[in-house]
Amino acid sequence: MRQAGRYLPEYRELREGRDILEMCRIPELVVEATLQPLRRMDVDAAILFSDIMVPVAEMGVDVRIDPGSGPIVSEPIRSSSDAYRLRLLVDSDVEYVMEAIRLLRKELGVPLIGFSGAPFTLASYLIQGGPSRNHELTKAFMHSAPDAWARLMKTLGISVGGYLAAQVRAGVQAVQIFDSWVGALDPDDYTRFILPTMRELFDGLAPLDVPRIHFGVGTGELLALMRDAGADVVGVDWRVPLHEAWERIGFDVSIQGNLDPAVCLAQWEAVEVKALAVLRRAANRPGHIFNLGHGVLPETPVENLQRLVELVHERIERNLTGRVFEGEGS
């Protein structure tokens, strides 16, 4: 996530004088922003350049993204009737995203990951009206108006499901659902207010036959429930050591993570130590996708990321060779 971004001078140049949502609507710019990190680093997949607020903006919500803070919604959802008024996303609303995907598939030599925000994280921006530390208005809404909350989850769940299916038809080879802020909830509320929608969403995506990745931040206490939601891969941040997170998820499900992105601002030797610790905890089991535990931060030196990609490739190749060798010997 945020593979592209302000840590790259060429991105800052491309973005200059343009609003990010405006940029997301121009397929040629989306292609360029998606490809920029790949010209710098030998990563194994590309993530579509877009934003989780793109579909919401096309559902008639007035939203902008403030640099340095995040999405701002000018008329937040505050009553049940506001929630009932939100309309479903239809394919024609996001045709420009599909056009960018088709163009990208012609350019790319690695798989393309499509994505969407998850219903809770989108609902939180819609209700809070912007980034939030406590998500208090969102929590108050779900507890005091559970029927309107269920309706909001339904509208968002159907819209997200349709949006991701359209991305797969246009050519993405994996889908990732970002429930970035769901870690703010306790397991009871996750089970009651979120899990049913997430199950429906992942069940609906299963026939598309592409890997489904489910990511959240601060979700240590929710990992077993996220596994129950049904994705093929659960993405974790750095707060739980990888092997512990994997135990909570179950070793029959894949895991993505979990180097602390802030560490990438330190000198290379420190990055190396922390990256090797992640690999050691993955212990060469199949089904680990090495990644950062959250998005690349704007102050990150590009060179650290380049060396990180090289290090992970080198170690994994060595381990794989080692495993073949052991197999031959036995």
Secondary structure tally for the chain: helices H, strands E = 15, 9
E strands, the chain, are 46-47, 63-66, 70-73, 112-117, 174-178, 212-215, 233-235, 254-259, 288-292
Report the distance separating Cα 92 and Cα 254, nearest Å: 33
- Of residues 282 through 301, those in contact with ligand CP3 by CB under 6 A are 295
How far apart are alpha carbons 250 and 233 in whole angstroms? 11
Site string for ligand CP3, 80-119 (x = CB under 6 A): -----------------------------------x----
Could you give the C-alpha distances from 72 to 52, 91, 296, 314, in angstroms and in order?
Answer: 12, 24, 21, 42
Shorter beta-carbon distance to ligand CP3: residue 148 or 170: 170
* Shortest spacing between CB 330 and ligand CP3, in angstroms: 42
Which residue in 163, 178, 190, 193 binds ligand CP3 (CB under 6 A)? 178
* Residue 328 CB, nearest approach to ligand CP3 (Å): 40
Site membership for ligand CP3, residue 49 (CB under 6 A) = yes
Using CB under 6 A as the binding rule, whether residue 47 contacts ligand CP3 is answered as yes
Catalytic residue positions, numbered: 2, 6, 15, 51, 125
Q: State whether residue 160 is helix, strand or coil.
A: helix
- Cβ neighbours of residue 166 under 8 Å, at least 6 residues apart? 91, 94, 97, 98
The reply on whether position 3 binds ligand CP3 by CB under 6 A is yes
Q: Is 55 one of the binding residues for ligand CP3 (CB under 6 A)?
A: no
Q: Is residue 20 within the footprint of ligand CP3 (CB under 6 A)? A: yes
Vertex 237: Cα angle to 50 and 142 (nearest 5): 75
Per CB under 6 A, the segment of 50-58, 186-194, 261-269, 275-283 that binds ligand CP3 is: 50-58
Q: Does 65 bind ligand CP3 (CB under 6 A)?
A: yes
Neighbours of 69 (CB within 10 A): 9
Q: Which of 268, 222, 218, 215 is nearest to 238 (CA)?
A: 218
Q: Closest approach of Cβ 294 to ligand CP3, in Å?
A: 6
Q: Which is nearer to ligand CP3, 15 or 148 (CB)?
A: 15
Residue 1 in the binding site for ligand CP3 (CB under 6 A):
yes
5 binds ligand CP3 per the rule CB under 6 A: yes
Residue 250 has which token pair? 């179950």
Between 1 and 148, name the residue whose CB sits nearer to ligand CP3.
1
**Does the protein bind ligand CP3 through residue 2 (CB under 6 A)?**
yes
Query: Cα–chain-centroid distance for residue 189?
Result: 22
Q: Which residues bind ligand CP3 (CB under 6 A)?
A: 1-6, 15, 20, 47, 49-52, 65, 67-71, 115, 178, 180, 295
